[in-house]
Amino acid sequence: MMDLVDYFCRQVVFSSYRFYRNRQGITSVEYGLIAVAIAVFVVAVLVGDNSFIKAVSGKFSDLTTTVTGAIVSKSS
């Protein structure tokens, strides 16, 4: 019976050591955290009242007005 308990204890220690040495799970968690951080950054930049999309849209609107004014004044 003691041999069985000794074997079980050794297996638990060995399995714990293998689990401790396995770093693949840690790497996956790190990549997941990086992906979440990037997603939060993208959402913060693209959504809201002062968002990047509204700023670019405003600049293109200004550019359209300028080009249209130049074309109209040149054709007149």
> Number of folded domains in the chain?
1
* Contact call for residues 51 and 45 (beta carbons, < 8 A): yes
Give Cα separations from 57 to 16, 47, 64, 67 (angstroms): 57, 13, 10, 15
Q: What is the per-residue pLDDT across 7-49, written as a single tens digit (0 to 9) for each?
A: 878 888 888 787 777 766 677 778 889 999 999 988 888 887 7
Give 1's DSSP letter. -
What residues make up the domain containing 52? 2-75
pTM over 0.75: no
Q: CA torsion angle for 44, 50, 56, 59 (degrees, to 10)?
A: -170
